[in-house]
Amino acid sequence: MKRYFPILSWFPAYKKAYLSGDIFAGITVGVMLIPQGMAYAMIAGLPPVFGLYAALVPQVIYALTGTSRQLAIGPVAMDSLLIASGLGALSISGIDEYISMAIFLSLFIGTIQLAMGFLKMGFLVNFLSKPVINGFTSAAALIIGISQLKHLLGIEITSNKTLHILQQTFLQLDQINPLAVIVGLSGIALMLIIKRLNSQIPTAIVVVILGIALAYFTPIADYGLQLVGKIPDGLPAFKIPEVPWSNLGDLFTIALAMALIAFMEVISIGKALDEKVNANTIIPNQELIALGTSNIMGSLFQSYPTTAGFSRTAVNFQAGAKTGVAAFISAALVALTLLFLTPLFYYLPNAILASIIMLAITSLIDFKYPQELYKYQKDEFVLLMATFFITLLVGIQEGIILGVLFSLLLMVYRTSKPHMAVLGQIKGTTYFKNITRFAPDIIDRKDILVLRFDAQLFFGNKDYFYKQLKRHKIAKGPDLKVIIINAEAINYIDSSATYIIKHLILELKDQEIQLMIAGATGPTRDILFKTGVVDLLGRENLFVRVVEAVEYIDGKHSRTEIENRISHQNY
């Protein structure tokens, strides 16, 4: 039970000293979550109240089942954008069906995450490389910002495609509502000023209160300023989501992408917290189970998909949260808002919510990392930019899927042409190093060629290995008598590569050139013996170190000594 409900481990040991920090953090995050949740629901194309529903049940369930004690679970901008992008591409008849699909998506995503957790598939997040994540996140942040132009400018935009939004915005420049622009920009400016004066003040709730007061006490709504309008009061009712069987196939791609991205966000934020407190609490597979359970249970109470929020988690941690008790307090604050305060939000201008979103997305855009990649790793910079532009111009799902595919192709390309070095003995030592890096302190003999192959040998690079070896052999000239393969970096040899090695041994024997292998690890030696390579090579031509092979060639060790040495090795 403690494995699946970590609260049973930490709650019995709860200390009184934790309570003040948990209460303060819970109230702070709850206050922050109310305007954020409503804003993010707008990004998802849902009525604002569904952002509050998503801030209620999921974070309570995560507090019971999650392994991190400071993660703040709830609606986030990224998931909200993915919902808008994914559902916007489907044929949906009206807002009621759209809401139903968004809630079902939470159930679908939760089911995928739960299954992945029980199947111990947490390793899949490793396929999301940092350049892909960075490019995707930066593009998504811009898409989120562009999607809020209609609220910030006070114009009507029907499309949810980035290019179409920009096109429609350009065509309606003469219809911009100056009042909406002033209110939205004032909200951004005020939040920046407050943050500079005191970063502990919840800037979003301040501008929400001022925005409500402005609309309530002045007639600005009469001048075309759009308000949130009526929000249903009361807690969300229990309701089993309807399964849209006709769209199930289309939703699967969206759900799978969102399940992985949400998990990636949880793991990255959780591990960052662990580093700050010098701990190691995050268990990836249990996080999948916790996140999946949170989304499933949330969907039963009208929540759309949720995950960990970067900004709210940082605030939760900085405010002194020690345990999941802070999440219970945040959820209680949201519940009180739903019960008693929703009538106040009727007067909240949409431009204020847009300003909150606009400011929030600035933290998602990273300029420093692409600059570093451009200087030092241009291939990964290209990967980042490809993911960025595909996400921005083609689509969210396409961006993340093609980004992962490109990163895997880049990995395959690198492993197909790995680094291969010619080694030479450093004068006065027993070390053999790359001759191009250590010249002129290298003894470069004409009768011996020492090669180091820095990768596993498999079907994808066996031909490259063979061609490079022949090229270096020819470069040595007619005096070459022995080729030594330094196999320290070769951790695996597949059947295709085994065939090439056997062919190479026979070919070199015909040319009266001896092949030797030095430094092979245990698993690699096992393969050499099991596949019969050693039968062709000769056991006496296997060495622990390159220097021993050279000394054997020079007659410093007899064949009997080599045989005795080999017999004592664990082959």
| Residue 337 reports pLDDT greater than 90 | yes
CA-angle at 59, arms to 53 and 64, nearest 5°: 140
| Residue 557 reports pLDDT greater than 90 | no
Q: 489 or 133: which carries more pLDDT confidence?
A: 489
Task: Name the nearest CA neighbour of 341 among 445, 215, 209.
Answer: 209
Helix 284-299 and helix 95-118: axis angle, to 10°? 150
Tell me the one-letter amino acid at 496: S
Give kind and range of the element (H or E) at residue 307: strand 307-308
Q: 127 or 371: which carries more pLDDT confidence?
A: 371
Most confident of 7-21, 42-56, 433-447: 42-56
Q: To which residue do tokens 């980035």 refer?
A: 162
**φ, ψ of residue 239 in degrees (nearest 5):** -155, 125
What pLDDT score was predicted for residue 4? Answer: 85
Six-digit token string for 23: 């209460």
What pLDDT score was predicted for residue 571? Answer: 42
- The answer for residues whose C-beta is within 8 angstroms of residue 321's C-beta and 6 or more apart is 21, 22, 25, 26, 29, 69, 70
Give kind and range of the element (H or E) at residue 285: helix 284-299
Contact 28, 314 (CB under 8 A): no
What pLDDT score was predicted for residue 565? Answer: 55
What pLDDT score was predicted for residue 566? Answer: 52
Average pLDDT on 215-237 reads 90
**pLDDT tens track for 103-118:** 999 999 999 999 999 9
3-class SS letters over 112-156: HHHHHHHCCCHHHHHHCCHHHHHHHHHHHHHHHHHHCHHHHHCCC
What pLDDT score was predicted for residue 153? Answer: 92
Question: In DSSP terms, which residues pair with 420 in a beta bridge?
Answer: 453
Q: How far apart are CA 339 and CA 53, in angstroms?
A: 12
Residue 488 CB: number of other CB atoms within 10 A?
16
CA-angle at 439, arms to 435 and 441, nearest 5°: 110
Six-digit token string for 38: 């409503």
> Do the strands 432-434 and 542-543 form a parallel or antiparallel pair, or are they unpaired?
unpaired
How sure is the predictor about 489, in pLDDT bands with cuts at 50, 70 and 90? Answer: very high
| pTM score of the predicted model | 0.78
> Do the strands 448-453 and 482-486 form a parallel or antiparallel pair, or are they unpaired?
parallel
Tell me the one-letter amino acid at 328: F
Residue 302 backbone zone (phi > 0: left; psi -120 to 50: alpha; other: beta):
left
CA distances from 217 to 213, 348, 554 (A): 6, 12, 97
Length of the chain: 571
What pLDDT score was predicted for residue 560? Answer: 61
Class of residue 109 by CB neighbours under 10 A (exposed 0-12, middle 13-18, buried 19+):
buried
Contact 481, 511 (CB under 8 A): no
Q: 38 or 559: which carries more pLDDT confidence?
A: 38
Contact 265, 134 (CB under 8 A): no
The answer to which of 29-38, 81-90, 498-507, 558-567 has the lowest mean pLDDT is 558-567
How sure is the predictor about 364, in pLDDT bands with cuts at 50, 70 and 90? Answer: confident
Q: 506 or 199: which carries more pLDDT confidence?
A: 506
Q: How far apart are CA 301 and CA 336, in angstroms?
A: 16
| Residue 310 reports pLDDT greater than 60 | yes
Contact 62, 74 (CB under 8 A): no
| Residue 444 reports pLDDT greater than 90 | no
pLDDT > 70: percent of the chain: 97
Mean pLDDT of the chain: 89
Q: 265 or 521: which carries more pLDDT confidence?
A: 521
**pLDDT tens track for 265-301:** 888 788 777 777 777 778 889 999 999 999 999 999 9
Class of residue 471 by CB neighbours under 10 A (exposed 0-12, middle 13-18, buried 19+):
exposed
Average pLDDT on 535-563 reads 81
Give kind and range of the element (H or E) at residue 453: strand 448-453
- Residue 237 CA to chain centroid, in angstroms? 34
Average pLDDT on 519-539 reads 93
**pLDDT tens track for 121-172:** 888 777 778 888 888 888 888 888 888 898 999 898 877 778 888 899 999 9
Average pLDDT on 240-269 reads 88
| Residue 200 reports pLDDT greater than 80 | no
What pLDDT score was predicted for residue 58? Answer: 96
Q: 557 or 386: which carries more pLDDT confidence?
A: 386
CA distances from 562 to 160, 553, 558, 570 (A): 73, 11, 6, 14
Class of residue 58 by CB neighbours under 10 A (exposed 0-12, middle 13-18, buried 19+):
buried
Q: How far apart are CA 548 and CA 542, in angstroms?
A: 10
